Amino acid sequence: MAPVVIPGVIVSYITGPVVLGYMWSYCLYGMLIVQVYLYSEMFPNDSRGIKAFVWSMFFLETVFTLLITIAAWNDYGPGWGDIDTLSIFDWSWDPLPPLSGFLAGMAQSFYIWRISKLTKKRWVLVLIASVMITQVTVAFYYGIRVALEGRTSTQLFALSPEITLWLIGSAVCDVSITVTLVIILSAQKRRTSFQRTTGVINKLIRFSVETGCVTSVGAIIDVTLWLTTKEWNFHLIAFLVLGKLYSNVLMATLNCRAPLFRSHSETTTAMPQSSLWAEPRLKPTHESRPAVHISRNTDVTRDTDTIIMTLKDFNDTAGKESTLDKSYRP
């Protein structure tokens, strides 16, 4: 079958990026499922607030994935070969911008909360939070405008200033969070003289830079592709995966507390095993009470019964056993 040819339009530049965005979004969703599972197994004692935050984020990501699945089916299923699908977005795209902006805001608010625990400079928190609220608000405003006025490419380009403000706000917020965390942790490192504490802070700085760079670079790529190639759909690649980048980075931040992701020298306790693989363990009691194991042997030649009692103290760290043998003649 010959490809669809439209004068002045490169069809592959419109359909190809969307396909890549769908594929990479599914891949990141699979990674998110694994991370949420690890979190639920390793941190069952986290506060209810953090648990509610994690599961709310996972629920919204699931809704986002369902919506892009509907969009993919409508575009490449019933809409296959229909020229209008190249210039008109499906209804399932309407909630995607608000969802993407809100998920980014959730991750950014988590890091703002972390910064609030490390610094007393409230003006820094207010500044970053204002940028975060602005990008979330513009994302909702854009989604509502598109839903009310139409989903054609022409109407999309008419809202170019709002989209640009939304994407730039997200990138600025990510960079600000990363820079602020690095500055605060570096100041803490200069105030300590303990080598072990300095090493821990150095690792926190590297982790903050690495995780911050992932979302910051993703947001910068998104706004760059929008400003340079808005007539094509290359910016949709970053748009479809950016929300899941935020969620995966957030879960990586929570899961890095587990001894599984630390070096041997930093690990002081064993990682809690999954309930699927953990074997039952006998817990010692608080009181020092010996356990009694009784076995019965019969001596035929002497026609006597021998009762052997083994006394084992579970509080004895050396694991020694004291055995008391008594011969009993009935």
What local confidence, expressed as pLDDT, does residue 60 receive?
95
What local confidence, expressed as pLDDT, does residue 302 receive?
47
Taking only the tens place, the pLDDT of each residue in 90-106 is 788 888 989 999 999 99
The pLDDT confidence band at residue 136, using thresholds 50, 70 and 90, is: very high
What local confidence, expressed as pLDDT, does residue 151 receive?
66
Which region among 82-91, 210-219, 299-308 has the lowest average model confidence (pLDDT)? Answer: 299-308
Is the pTM value of this prediction over 0.85? no
Burial of residue 263 (number of CB atoms within 10 Å: 0-12, 13-18, 19+)? exposed
Q: Average per-residue pLDDT in the chain?
A: 75
What local confidence, expressed as pLDDT, does residue 262 receive?
55
Give whichever of 16-30, 227-241, 297-311 has the largest mean pLDDT.
16-30
Q: Which residues contact 248 (CB under 8 A, 6 or more apart)?
A: 28, 31, 32, 35
- Angle of helix 160-190 relative to helix 96-118, nearest 10 degrees? 20
Average pLDDT estimate for 28-41: 94
Q: Which residues contact 112 (CB under 8 A, 6 or more apart)?
A: 125, 128, 129, 132, 177
**CA 198 centroid distance within chain:** 27
236-245 burial, b at 16+ Cβ within 10 Å, e below that, comes to bbbbbbbbbb
For 11-261, CATH number? 1.20.1070
Taking only the tens place, the pLDDT of each residue in 143-184 is 888 878 766 666 677 778 888 898 899 899 989 988 888 888
Sheet strands (E) in the chain: 291-299, 304-312, 321-328
